[in-house]
């Protein structure tokens, strides 16, 4: 058996030498394949948690980060705010200008938000026209000031090929330290957003337990 293995290895070595493949080249090739495999896995993992249209996080990616930060908030008492926003009358945008225009709006709003927040903050498209923002290390009043600026910037956006198209957005803010579970914080942000939409839209509301 050992002699057969030795013979097989000798034949493999002869083939490698005949084709000009050195041990160093084999190691380089193996390293290259390993690096490619690692890069591919990372790209695949990024795709799983990224919204294809806007390039922001998707619901899965955002939920993972929100869960992590809620734990950190409880342990370290670090403030943070969850923001939900809806693009107002988005169905009317699609009905009037077409779904391609709706996609342009989502892309431009996503790009504006990405430019306007810090790298530590997280932006995600979590529904059709619904976007979430996790403002880390941000108290409620600071979050409100930031969100008011975002609201103003959104209503001044212009869209290529759609000169007559204008949009506004409604925002709901909820502090993470006011929630015990993931379901709680989502419900709080939802309630604040609902209040903003019921108050004429294009405004900002902060969650209140009352």
Our answer to whether residue 25 is catalytic in this structure is: no
The closest of 67, 57, 60 to 184, measured between CA atoms, is: 67
Order of all β-strands in the sheet with 169-175: 122-125, 130-136, 80-87, 169-175, 204-206
Q: Give residues with Cβ within 8 angstroms of 117, minimum separation 6.
A: 123, 133, 135, 146
Q: Which of 129, 130, 153, 183 is catalytic?
A: 129
Could you tell me if 171 and 202 are in contact, meaning their C-beta atoms sit under 8 angstroms apart? no
CA distance 173 to 189: 5
Catalytic residue numbers, as ranges:
129
């Amino acid at each position: 058996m050992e002699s057969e293995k030795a013979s097989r290895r000798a034949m493999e070595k002869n083939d490698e030498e005949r084709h000009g493949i050195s041990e160093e080249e084999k190691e380089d090739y193996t390293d290259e394949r390993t690096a490619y495999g690692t890069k591919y896995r990372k790209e695949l993992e990024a795709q799983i948690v990224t919204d294809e249209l806007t390039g922001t996080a998707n619901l899965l990616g955002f939920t993972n980060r929100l869960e992590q930060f809620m734990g950190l908030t409880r342990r370290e008492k670090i403030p943070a705010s969850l923001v939900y926003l809806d693009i107002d009358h988005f169905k009317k945008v699609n009905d009037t200008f077409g779904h391609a225009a709706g996609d342009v709006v989502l892309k431009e709003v996503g790009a504006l938000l990405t430019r306007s927040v810090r790298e530590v903050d997280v932006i995600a498209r979590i529904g059709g026209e619904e976007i979430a923002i996790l403002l880390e290390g941000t108290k409620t009043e600071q979050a409100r000031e930031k969100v008011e600026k975002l609201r103003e910037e959104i209503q001044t956006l212009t869209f290529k090929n759609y000169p007559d198209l204008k949009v506004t957005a409604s925002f709901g803010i909820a502090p993470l330290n006011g929630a015990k579970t993931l379901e709680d914080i989502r419900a709080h942000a939802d309630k604040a957003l609902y209040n903003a939409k019921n108050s004429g839209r294009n405004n900002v509301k902060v969650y209140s337990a009352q």
